[in-house]
Structure 1
Amino acid sequence: MLRKVKVEEAIGKPLFHDLTGIMADGFKGVVFKRGHIVEESDIEKLKNIGKENLFVGELDYGFVHEEDAIKEVADDLIGENICYKDPSEGKITFKANSDGIFVTNRKGLFELNNEGDYTFATIPSYTKVFSGDNLVGGRIVPLFTKREEVENIKRIGQRYRPIFEVKKFHKLRVGIIITGNEIYTARIDDLFEPVIREKLSFYDHEILGIEKCPDDMNYIKNVAKGYLERKADLIVFSGGMSVDPDDITPTIIKDMSDKLIIQGIPVQPGNMLTVGIKDKTYLVGVPGASIHSKFTSFDIFLPRFFAKLDLKKEDFTELGEGGLLAGRKC
C-alpha cells in the first residue's frame, strides 16, 4: 500500500518516484532517482528541494506507476526511425534516429490525449527533422494510473499504429522545366533556376536537366515526357501558373497526370500550386511567388516529395488554417 510519511520516517526505504529539484545555480532535473534508498544524510537535501513528506510503499493491485505506464505503451505508438530511452521524471521522449520528415496520425494523437491520464505533446506533423531531434514528449499526469487506462492506450496505438514515425528522405531524380516566351527568347533573365537549385540543395538529388521552354503546349509536354522516360521522380514546372491566356502549365500537368491531385491550395504565398502524379512521378507547378518569397506552399511540400509520401487532396486543403504565411516564422 502506498502511504505518505515524513522524510525522517522514510530512512531506509526506497523512493517511489524521481524527485526533481531546482537549484540556485540554474540546475533543474532529477536529484534522487526512483528506488533510491533514503539515507539520513539525504534529509537536508530533500528539505532543500521542498520535500517534507515522501511516498513510500507499493501500489495496490490494478494500478501502474507513471514510468511503467508510459514505457509500456511506447512500442505500440511508434513506427520506423524513432527511438527512446527509459523514462525520467515520469516522462518519455521519442527521438528521431534518422533524418527525414516527422509524421503524426492526428486522429490517433487526438484519441490518445482524449483518453484520460495520458498526455502526448509533439512537434508539428510534417516537420523536417534530423537524427537526434526530439519529436514527442509523453507522460501521465498523475503519479500512477489504472491498468485499464494503460490497456486503452495500447489499443488506440495498435488501431492507428504508427501514430508517430519518421519517413526518410530519398534521393530523387529531378527534371526542371522553366516556361515563358520571355525566358525562352532571353528577352528577360530567368530568376527561377537559382531559386530551385538552392531549395533542392538541402536534399540528395540528381538534376536531369533544366529546360527553358516557349509557351507551347506540345513543346513543354515533349520535354516532360523526356524526363519521364529517364525515370524522373519529380518534375518541377515554373512559369505559366496564373490565369492569363498564355498560362498553360496547369493544363499540361492535368493532361499528363494519371491523377490531378490539386490545382490551387489555401496557402499564401503560393496559392496556385498545382500537383499531379504520373505513375510514381510527381508533376509540380510552382507559383511565381517562389521567386520573391522565401517560404511558400512549394516549400511546405518539397520535404514530402522527397519522403515519397502518398499525397492526397486533403493534405493540401487542410492547410487553410495557418496558410497565411506572411509574417510567419518558418
Structure 2
Amino acid sequence: MRLLPVQEAVGMVLGHDMTEIIPGEHKKVAFKKGHIITEEEIPRFLNMGKEHIFIMEFNEGDLHENDAAIRMAKAAAGKGVTFSEPKEGKVSLLSKYPGLLKVNYRALDDINSVDDIMFATLHTNQLVEGNTVIAGTRIIPLVTKEEKIKSIERICSDKYPIVQVLPLQNKKVGIVTTGNEVFYKRIEDKFGPVIRSKFDKLGCTVEKQVFAKDDSEYIAASIKSLIEEGVELITVTGGMSVDPDDVTPLGIKKAGADIVSYGAPTLPGAMFLLSYINDIPVLGLPGCVMYNKITIFDLVIPRLLAGEKVTKNDIVKFGHGGMCLQCKECRYPNCSFGKGGLY
C-alpha cells in the first residue's frame, strides 16, 4: 500500500473500502476497494475527512484485508455455517439454520494470539436462529503477510471446526408428572402444559404424559412404561425438593437410571437432576421450571437435542454465570446466564 494525498490519487485504484458517516442519516460504504478515483470525487473524500488515500501496491507475500478475512472465515466455518462477502475488511459468519452454536473457544484463543488477527464469536452452547450473525473476522491493518493467514488456516485445520451449528433432533418426549395432589385430581396440572410448550418451540413431540402418585415404585414404573413405548427423552416433574413426600429422585434411581448429577449450581434450577437409562436422558425438573421463564432446563435441553451427552463436568461449569438476574424484560440468551466457567 502507498499513502498519497487525495489530490494526487486521481486515476489510481483505491486500496480498501471507504466508509461515509452522516449522523442521523447513514453509515455506508461510499467507495469500494478497487474503485478508480476521479477528480470530481475529491470534494466528497475531503468531506468524509479523507485527505490521504491508500493506493494498492503490494509487496511479495502481502495479503489484502478482504482476501485475508475470506480465507480465515472459510477455514473456521464448520457444519451449518456460511459467510458473507467482505465489507470494510470484515467477513461475517452466519448460521445456515436454527440450532446449537458450538465454538472451539480454546482454538479461538490461539487464533487471536496471532498478531494482526481478530476473530470474535457469540458465546458457545447457545441456541441461534437461522441466518444469525454468529462470528466476525478481519485483520487489523489493511495488509498483512500471507504467512500469518496460513498460520490461522493451520490452527483451523488442526482444531476444525472452530465454529459450527448443530441442528436440533426431533426427539420423542415423555412426561411423568408426580404429586398426589395432581394424581388424585385435587388440583389441575400446570406443569405439563409448560413443558409441552417448551418442547414445541424446540421442534420436539411430546408423545405421552403420565401421572404418578408420590410413590417411588409408581414413579419408576411410569418411567419404564414410557421407555417401553419408545420415547427418547423423559422429564419427571415435581417432587424434587427435600420434603418427606418428594420421592422423585428415588423413583428415577429405582427405574434403573445412572444419576449424573442431583443438584446444579444454577438459580433458578438448583434441585435439577440429570440421569440416563442407557442412552435415554431422564431429567428431574424442579418447580422453578414451571414458574420461571429461563432455568437450567433451557441450558441443558438444547445440548441434549443436539446429540450431546451432558456430563457432571458440564453441570459443574454452569456455576460461573449460573445466577439469573430475573430481569423484568428477559433478554436471554443475550445475557450472562449460563455463559461462564469455560476455562
Q: What TM-score, normalized to structure 2?
A: 0.90
Alignment of 1:89-128 (within 5 A): 89-128=88-127
1:241 Cα deviation from its structure 2 partner:
0.8
Secondary structure of the residue aligned to 2:72 is: helix
> In 1, distance between residues paired with 2:171 and 2:206?
8
Alignment of 1:62-101 (within 5 A): 62-101=61-100
> In 2, distance between residues paired with 1:185 and 1:270?
27
> In 2, distance between residues paired with 1:255 and 1:163?
41
CA offsets, 1:185-221, max 9 Å, x none? Answer: 2233322112112212202222221111012222222
CA offsets, 1:159-196, max 9 Å, x none? Answer: 22111111112211000001122221223332211211
Alignment of 1:134-173 (within 5 A): 134-173=133-172
> In 2, distance between residues paired with 1:257 and 1:113?
46
Secondary structure of the residue aligned to 1:215 is: coil
Which range moved further: 176-185 or 86-95? 176-185
Q: Which consecutive segments of 4 or more residues in structure 1 shift more than 6 A?
A: none
> In 2, distance between residues paired with 1:185 and 1:4?
82
> In 2, distance between residues paired with 1:8 and 1:314?
63
Residue in 2 that maps onto 1:313: 312
Secondary structure of the residue aligned to 2:224 is: helix
Residue in 2 that maps onto 1:284: 283
> In 1, distance between residues paired with 2:22 and 2:41?
16
1:222 Cα deviation from its structure 2 partner:
1.7
User: Which residue identity does 1:308 align to in structure 2?
Assistant: G
Residue in 2 that maps onto 1:11: 10
User: Which residue identity does 2:135 align to in structure 1?
Assistant: V
Secondary structure of the residue aligned to 1:68 is: helix
User: Which residue identity does 1:210 align to in structure 2?
Assistant: Q
Alignment of 1:214-225 (within 5 A): 214-225=213-224
Instruction: Kindly tell me the number of residue pairs found equivalent between the two proteins.
Output: 329
Task: State whether structure 2 residue 205 is matched by structure 1 residue 206.
Answer: yes
> In 1, distance between residues paired with 2:63 and 2:312?
43
> In 2, distance between residues paired with 1:88 and 1:234?
44
Aligned-pair Cα RMSD in Å: 1.8
> In 2, distance between residues paired with 1:257 and 1:136?
42
1:250 Cα deviation from its structure 2 partner:
2.2
Whether the 8 Å contact between 1:253 and 1:275 is mirrored in structure 2 is no
> In 2, distance between residues paired with 1:252 and 1:159?
45
> In 1, distance between residues paired with 2:163 and 2:278?
28
1:258 Cα deviation from its structure 2 partner:
5.9
1:28 Cα deviation from its structure 2 partner:
0.7
User: Which residue identity does 2:218 align to in structure 1?
Assistant: Y
User: Which residue identity does 2:29 align to in structure 1?
Assistant: V
Secondary structure of the residue aligned to 1:115 is: coil
1:224 Cα deviation from its structure 2 partner:
1.2
Residue in 2 that maps onto 1:298: 297
Whether the 8 Å contact between 2:257 and 2:282 is mirrored in structure 1 is no
Percent of residue pairs bearing the same amino acid type: 35
Residue in 1 that maps onto 2:338: none
CA pair 87-281 structure 1, distance change in 2 beyond 3 A: same
CA offsets, 1:7-56, max 9 Å, x none? Answer: 11111111111111102452112110101111111111111111111111
Residue in 2 that maps onto 1:55: 54
CA pair 11-256 structure 1, distance change in 2 beyond 3 A: farther
> In 2, distance between residues paired with 1:252 and 1:149?
58
> In 2, distance between residues paired with 1:260 and 1:102?
27
Q: What TM-score, normalized to structure 1?
A: 0.94
User: Which residue identity does 1:89 align to in structure 2?
Assistant: E
User: Which residue identity does 2:31 align to in structure 1?
Assistant: F
Secondary structure of the residue aligned to 2:222 is: helix
Residue in 2 that maps onto 1:236: 235
Whether the 8 Å contact between 1:257 and 1:283 is mirrored in structure 2 is no
Whether the 8 Å contact between 2:217 and 2:254 is mirrored in structure 1 is no
> In 2, distance between residues paired with 1:14 and 1:168?
44
